[in-house]
Amino acid sequence: MKWERLSAIRLIEELKSGSITSEEISAYFLDRIKKVDHILNSFITLNEKAVKEAEKIDKDKKGGRLAGLPIAIKDNITTKGIRTTCASRILENYVPPYDAEVISRIKREGGIIIGKTNMDEFAMGSSGENSGFGPTKNPRDLNRVPGGSSSGSAAAVAAGLAPLALGSDTGGSIRAPASFTGIVGLKPTYGAVSRFGLIAYANSLEQIGPMGKNVLDAAYLYSIIYGEDEKDSTSLPSPPLSIERISNFEAKGVKVAILTDLVSRVDEPVRKVFERGINYVSEIGAEVSEVKLEGIDLALPAYYVIACSEASSNLARYDGVRFGVDCRTNLSWRDAYKEVRKLFGKEVKVRIMLGAYALSAGFFEEYYVKAVKVRRKIREGLKKLLKRYDYIAIPTMPVLPWRIGEKLDDPLYVYLSDALTVPANLAGVPAISLPIGLADGLPVGIQFIADEFEEEKLFGLAKRFEEEAGELGVVDL
Amino acid sequence: MKGELEYLADLVLLELTREERREVAKRLKALKSVLKKLENVEVGEEPPFLPTLRLKLRKDEPKVFNVEELLSIVPKVKDRYVKGPKTI
Amino acid sequence: MNDVKIGLEIHVQLVSLKTKLFCSCSADYRGKPPNTNVCPVCMGLPGTLPVLNEKAVEEAIKVAKALSANISNVSYFFRKNYFYPDLAKNFQITQYDKAGGIPFATGGYLKLSNGRRIRIRRMQLEEDPGRIYYEVGIQEAKYSLIDYNRHGVALIEIVTEPDIREPREAREFLEKLSGILEELGIPVGGYEGAIRCDANISLREGARVEVKNITGFSAVEKALSYEITRQRNLIKRGIKVERETRHWDERRRITASLRKKEMEEDYRYFPEPDLPPLIVRKDVLERIEGIVKPIEEVIKDYVKKYGVEEVIAERIARDRRLRTLFDRSVKNRPDLARHLASLLANEIPFLMKRKEIELPSNVKGLLIVAEARRDGLSRDEILKLLEDWLHGKEVIHHKATTLKEADLEDIVKKVTKKNPKVVEDAKKNPRALNYLMGLALREAKGVIDKKKLFDLLRRSLGL
């Protein structure tokens, strides 16, 4: 039986009914990963204890809502006892002594952590090429990037190596790889999911989110992880989410706004498919309008200033003294720290330095303060739009997945590819990406954005859309 | 640009190898060009943007963490102290 | 010293808190083995987040109120970015008063005994770093030993304006502050390292020199005296005083220059994105306003409302127990205010010094003693009554012994007989008359009608 073809929800039904055991399913996927992943490089660490843990769940009959289903976790989410590297050499041997809150919630509902997935180092990147453990490949085309930074999680789901995965999204890191690999990924409202245990890149922008083959799978995983956490001062309470209401969502009459400014700037093949997507949106009964959002082109620079500034501070702790790679004590402390921090990859170094630059005396007003103002205006602008319209629809990515290594000499190209995803992070509103179809054999995703804490509404529209556009399914490797 | 690169790297205790310097300089240049758009933004003083406006307070009740587990991941420990480099 | 400007930057540990500022580790670290009061949050492990201690906010409000400071409705936490082995995250969560930042409280003051007001610029909450140790001398050592037990303990930073003019004043300020904190239930004096001070000093509008690492109030006075002398000598020799950071070497009794790289660091302050703005809730503020009144306000109240002398008012205001007793006694008998105040500021502390007893709460008894004082009883008699009161015995004031007119005549006769020369003087000189009156009063044992006594005296003199 090709279990990877079944949806996660279906697998859970099978598990609950007892027709399969957690041990069988975990062993199955673990096996598949070991056979296939050397092609993709989507996992950094496998949980060898997974099968034993699954056995225990079967024995204790403590199924929970995940019923013993294996889940892949992006390697910047802390897992107790399982190596957590953020795809960085500096954390090569770091085994955390505590679980992230989302991991606790998953375990409480009987989820099995099957392994930690590859990513751009410290979540800095949009392609999956910036990993200290080698790039991940796009299952849809092994010569191309899967998108980043949740590259491994996306590839794993798209290739059927795990039924569900967790990613994190700071500037598009869930949605971009979801779009490039043809799966579903949600960036929740800022504060909806606890960041306790998410190894920080840019605290005010990022959220952990679900990734799955289809909308309901992603929604199901979301329903397990979301909710306020007293250990995260920035988390907020969410209204209750109902999978049933999502399944029965009525899309007729909803108002969808397309940001024409942004759409006009995407590559031709992407725009063509996006237009098809808009037709689907009309087909399901929505009213489509074209709107302009002033100042949206300032979103990208504002994002990079804020993200890099926060990152430069967040990554200061990596000095080899309390955890991670060992620091040499026979050097003066500044040299000892420099020695350890040499292990950061190039992109990480770039962003740390840019962040320090933006925060330094003399440039603080030039960059940081301006970025904060732009951010405020974009948030106001988006929220205003989302009062008039139910959703905003734009492509997820302005380009098709490029060839691995092709853009190493053109970093600007990669930076600009975030243009469509960063506005939602700046504003703190939820956004989902799901496949429309293929362009030259490569997936193109559509992005829906809704107002804060309207995840259910977002999933609902996405569900109706998916029924029209269809799922891309898993790749047979 | 080189002097600026060295200064920035030193500020955050990063050391760049020669080949890295070229690559990092290139990427920094690309990023800075993205930031150029901010030049025309006019701004006075801006209050901190903190997306969450709800204060969370914790009760003043001590909780114990398994310290041995914590110390076991510290790279170098001596007599329970964390061993570090000299501070000069 | 009018050409001297001294400002203090004081760090006070909130020793009344059970846990650290941003995590639930016990804050009681003194005497514990290294790295026992630690957790992933205060060790700065990746993925951890700070959560604010609610009691820290209350204590901060109390301290701000006691110093008459203005508490900001909203204040922000900021990150101060610098690398150092005693800083687990290589940034400190603190507060800031620039770049859009607002500290917890601004303004406020403390008045010194010489009348000078030392204004407070700001007060803010921040976390304490850990401690670094060396087994041998720092030069020969091959490594450092770091203990994070203290890391994350709550501090309040209090920065004054450069209003202090003498080393002695700096010391007094710290002692007064320490006393106020003790009254609030934050006994920093009793804990090693719980109150630390850096001083900024400049002479004649010259460069500002920062002196760090001063522990102990007498050390502050010594360090500042030394530094003033050092700077004066330089000025005398025509050498410019450089703006720098020095540290106080307790052993050698000098201030020594710290290395250049420790100065003028760019801390790249920005708002702490993991913590929402600190909003002081109205109900919390009101509850604490009911408990804590700014010292200076209390003093002003006593002076204005009850006519108590300022020096006496200050002595009472600074001590919570004395204040409580005074407030309760004076409520029903405001007429006895000055007498009560005097007893509480002078005789009672005098008696209590010699004994190890608790201050009684018997207001009735105290009022009786105050009446006795009003009625002119001698000091010895007052002290005796107070002894009874302190030991919980019943206080009996011999109100019954009101001297009759006949007694008064006896006193007049006695006094005039004993002092014939003064009597002659008194017939012409009013001062001599007063002197006679004083002698007569001293003879009186019991309650007397002073006016009557005076009239009798005058009549006896033929006036």
pLDDT digits (tens, 9 = 90+) for A335-345: 999 999 999 99
Name the CATH superfamily housing domain A3-253+452-469: Amidase signature (AS) domain (3.90.1300.10)
What burial class does residue C301 get, using C-beta atoms within 10 Å of its C-beta: 0-12 exposed, 13-18 middle, 19+ buried?
Answer: middle
pLDDT of A308: 97
**C-alpha to C-alpha distance for C43 and C26, rounded to whole angstroms:** 14
Q: Which of A66, A468, A124 is nearest to A286 (CA)?
A: A468
Instruction: Point out the residue among C18, C76, C132 whose CB comes nearest to the CB of B60.
Output: C18
Write down the mean pLDDT value for chain A. 96
A233-242, A430-439, B53-62, C53-62: least confidently modelled range? B53-62
What are all long-range contacts of A338-342, with beta carbons under 8 Å and residues at least 24 apart?
Answer: A338/B13, A338/B14, A338/B15, A339/B15, A340/A90, A341/A90, A341/B12, A341/B13, A341/B14, A341/B15, A342/B14, A342/B15, A342/B17
SS3 C79: strand
Q: Is the pLDDT of residue A153 over 70?
A: yes
pLDDT for res C1: 75
Interface contact flag, C144 B70, Cβ < 8 Å: no
**Structure-model confidence comparison of residues B47 and B58, the more confident one:** B58
Which residues have CB under 8 Å from C204's CB, separation 6+?
A: C3, C235
C338-341 long-range Cβ contacts below 8 angstroms, 24+ apart: C338/C306, C338/C307, C338/C308, C339/C370, C339/C371, C339/C373, C339/C374, C340/C366, C340/C367, C340/C370, C341/C302, C341/C306, C341/C308, C341/C309, C341/C312, C341/C313, C341/C316
Q: Give the three-class secondary structure for C268.
A: coil
Q: Which residue of C has its CA nearest to B51?
A: C276
For residue C52, which residues of chain B lie inside 8 Å, CB to CB? Answer: 55-58
CB C326 within 8 A of CB C344: yes
A window 134-193, beta carbon within 8 A of B: 190-191
Give the C-alpha separation, C459 to C195, whole Å: 66
Instruction: Say how far apart CA A177 and CA A222 lie, in whole Å.
Output: 18
Residue C26 per-residue DSSP state: B
Name the strand (E) or helix (H) holding A43. strand A43-46
Closest CA to C91 of C99, C75, C80: C80
Is residue A79 within 8 Å of residue A113, measured between CB atoms? yes
pLDDT of residue C259: 60
What CA dihedral angle connects C28, C31, C32 and C33, to 10 degrees?
Answer: 150
Question: How many pairs of residues across A and C have Cβ atoms under 8 Å apart?
Answer: 105
| Distance of residue A22 Cα from the nearest chain C Cα, in angstroms | 29
Of A130-134, A378-382, A447-451, C256-260, minimum mean pLDDT range: C256-260
Nearest-CB residue to C142 (from A204, A329, A360):
A329
Q: Give the C-alpha separation, A312 to B12, whole Å.
A: 8
For chain A positions 335-354, those within 8 Å of chain B (CB to CB) are 335-339, 341-342, 344, 346-347, 349-354
For residues A158 and A182, the answer to whether their CB atoms sit within 8 Å is: yes
Q: pLDDT, tens digit, for every residue of A271-280? A: 999 999 999 9
Contact C19 B67 (CB under 8 A): no
For every residue of A73-111, DSSP letters joined together read EETTB-BTTB---TT-GGGTT---SS--HHHHHHHHTT-
Residues C49, C42 contacting (CB under 8 angstroms): no
Q: At what angle do helices A50-60 and A22-40 cross, to 10 degrees?
A: 160
Helix axes C320-332, C310-317, angle to 10 degrees: 120
Give helix then strand counts, H and E, for chain A: 17, 11
Q: Is C291 left (phi over 0), alpha (psi -120 to 50) or beta?
A: alpha
Query: Average pLDDT for residues A357-370, to the nearest whole number?
Result: 92
Q: pTM here?
A: 0.86
pLDDT tens digits for range A158-181: 999 999 999 999 999 999 999 999
| Chain A residues within 8 A of C52 when measuring between CB atoms | 233
**Of the candidates A64, A42, A60, which has an alpha carbon nearest to the alpha carbon of residue A52?**
A60
Q: Quick check: B72 contacting A, CB < 8 Å? A: yes
Residues of A in contact with B56 (CB under 8 A): 230, 233
| Stretch among A317-326, A328-337, B66-75, C437-446 having the lowest mean pLDDT | C437-446
Segment A309-328 shows an average pLDDT of 95
Residue C302: strand, helix, or coil: helix
pLDDT of A241-260, one tens digit each?
999 999 999 999 999 999 99
Cβ distance A304 to B35 less than 8 Å, yes or no, reads: yes
Least confident residue range of A26-35, B74-83, C60-69, C242-251:
C242-251
- The answer for B 19-58 residues in CB contact with A (under 8 A) is 20, 23-24, 26-28, 30-38, 41, 43, 45-46, 48-52, 54-56, 58
- Spatial separation of the C-alpha atoms in residues A9 and A220, rounded to whole Å: 8
| Nearest alpha-carbon partner for A171 in A150, A197, A198, A195 | A150
C437 against A305, higher pLDDT: A305
**Averaged pLDDT, A24-36:** 96
B58 bridge partner residues: C53
Q: Which of C19, C33, C138 is nearest residue B60 as measured by Cβ atoms?
A: C19
- Backbone φ, ψ for residue C274 (5° rounding): -90, -5
Using alpha carbons, select from A138, A159, A134 the residue that is nearest to residue A147: A138
Terminal CA-CA length for chain B: 30
- pLDDT score at C261: 46
Task: Evaluate whether B71 touches C39 at the Cβ level (below 8 Å).
Answer: no
Largest CA distance in chain C: 97
Rounded distance, CA C282 to CA C285, Å?
Answer: 5
Task: For residue C344, count CB atoms less than 10 angstroms from its CB and return exposed for 0-12, middle for 13-18, buried for 19 or more.
Answer: buried
Nearest chain B residue to C27, by CA:
B62
Rounded distance, CA A445 to CA C422, Å? Answer: 114
What is the three-class DSSP state of A209? strand
In this predicted structure, what is the pLDDT of residue C428? 87
Instruction: Give the largest CA-CA distance in chain B.
Output: 57
Q: Is the pLDDT of residue B1 over 60?
A: no
The yes-or-no verdict on residue A231 having pLDDT over 60 is yes
User: What is the residue-level pLDDT of chain C in tens, covering all 463 positions?
Assistant: 788 999 999 999 999 999 999 999 999 999 999 999 999 999 999 999 999 999 999 999 999 999 999 999 999 999 999 999 999 999 999 999 998 899 999 999 999 989 999 999 999 999 999 999 999 988 888 999 999 999 999 999 999 999 999 999 999 999 999 999 998 999 998 898 999 999 999 998 788 899 997 888 889 999 999 999 999 998 889 888 888 888 888 888 888 887 654 456 799 999 999 999 999 988 888 888 877 777 888 888 899 999 899 889 988 887 878 888 899 898 888 888 999 999 999 988 888 876 666 788 888 889 889 988 888 888 888 888 888 888 888 887 765 456 778 888 888 888 888 888 888 888 888 888 888 888 888 777 666 778 888 888 888 888 8
Q: Any idea how long chain A is? A: 477
Determine the Cα–Cα distance for residues A232 and A104; give it in Å rounded to an integer: 14
Task: Establish if C52 touches chain A: CB-CB under 8 angstroms.
Answer: yes
Does residue C238 sit at the A interface (CB-CB below 8 Å)? no
- How far lies A198's CA from each of A98, A184, A395, C300, C359, in Å? 12, 21, 27, 54, 55
Q: Does residue A467 have a pLDDT over 80?
A: yes
CB within 8 Å: A317 and C90: yes
Q: Domain locations in chain A?
A: 3-253+452-469
Number of Cβ within a 10 Å radius of residue A349: 25
Of the candidates B57, B60, B84, the beta carbon closest to that of C146 is on B84
Q: Give the ipTM.
A: 0.96
Judged by CB atoms closer than 8 Å, whether chains meet at B30 and A411 is answered as: yes
CA distance C63 to B75: 41
DSSP string, A380-428: HHHHHHHHHSSEEEEES-SSPPPBTTTTTT-HHHHHHTTTTTHHHHHHT
Q: Does B19 touch chain C (CB under 8 A)?
A: no
Which of the 8 DSSP states describes residue A142?
Answer: T
Q: Which residue has the tokens 């006892």?
A: A81
Whether residue C366 contacts residue C389, with contact meaning beta carbons closer than 8 Å, is answered with yes
Nearest to A209 by CA among A121, A93, A123, A300: A123
Which helix (H) or strand (E) segment holds residue C372: the answer is helix C363-374
A477: helix, strand or coil: coil
Q: Which of A96, A352, A375 sits opposite B12 (nearest CB)?
A: A352
- How far is Cα C222 from Cα C210, in angstroms, rounded to an integer? 15
Distances (CA, A) of B35 to A362, B20, C111: 16, 22, 51
Q: Please report where in the chains the tokens 């607002």 appear, as a residue.
A: C102
A303 interfaces chain B, CB cutoff of 8 Å = no
Q: How far is CA A346 from CA A175, A404, A425, B27, C15, in A?
A: 24, 17, 24, 9, 45
Tokens of C392: 């919980």
Active site residues of A: 74, 149, 173
Give the HSE-up count for residue C40: Cα atoms under 13 Å, Cβ half-sphere. Answer: 20
